[in-house]
Structure 1
């Protein structure tokens, strides 16, 4: 028997042994991917529909809020994320799309995002300061904090600025219910921001 014929069975046995060893490694934990829940936007009767074209820019955010992780503050100043779960997109993008949907559902406002080059009269810039659940007296509460600036697209003049601070309690610590609270908080933020933009735009002198 040749030396090559002796080596081949040994090499095959070694390969099979390595493959069997791989099966002993623990399987990766499955990741649960969540959409940002939303309810149908109610018709806004408080102000006339926005006539100017509006471009909504993706909010700026810190590193931990800029990704798809679902942030949580379990206690004090410690910020973490829910293990084995994430948003379907980066949190600022989800919130931007929710704001755009608010305008589209409730009226004929010409609205676009910063992903397009569509012309606009007004631009909304913002910074996402908080988009997390945090525990208050042992119960989870979602906090969404957004610093917004409404800007004239013609000359980049800041027309108005405002901080929005939304808090929404979760029914219990289960992640599904926490995610629902994120949705309710985002809906409330979208409605408040829409009313603010329409009121500010209406108060501006016609060009």
Structure 2
């Protein structure tokens, strides 16, 4: 089954979800994409629970905040499943996990998720995204701590954005929030995110 047919088949079977390629996310969307990703390999397909904050400053969706579902239970082995049935089996694998994905699509739950994964908050990009989320939740002091940690390791445009937010945060916190929300809107447009 080619990717286009796979996506069409999945989208026929799921409710209140949208997609960007093989990323299927729950609706409605505000700040966080939360859903499932199908990683296809020649021998099978791995199913991921993905979370992606739309204020992340990367150029495309990535799996930094995500977790691959259990192997072998949620792995789709092409020796056991015909590729023509991939979409149906993928939908079966995610069916009882959709409500959990829906619950993760909030700023509060994104922050709780990050806090529960210490290794995630050691990565500079996730430190910055977590700091942005804290700022949007009016936790400015904690946001500042994480953004200062991140800026020491970030490079290029990521570092520039982090520094810009820190500068605005010290002068005009509402301006820092607006800047983050503007980047989020740009990301939604660039990625073609459907919000409702």
Query: TM above 0.5, one fold?
Result: no
TM-score with structure 2 setting the length: 0.32
Larger radius of gyration: 1
Higher helix share: 2
Higher strand share: 1
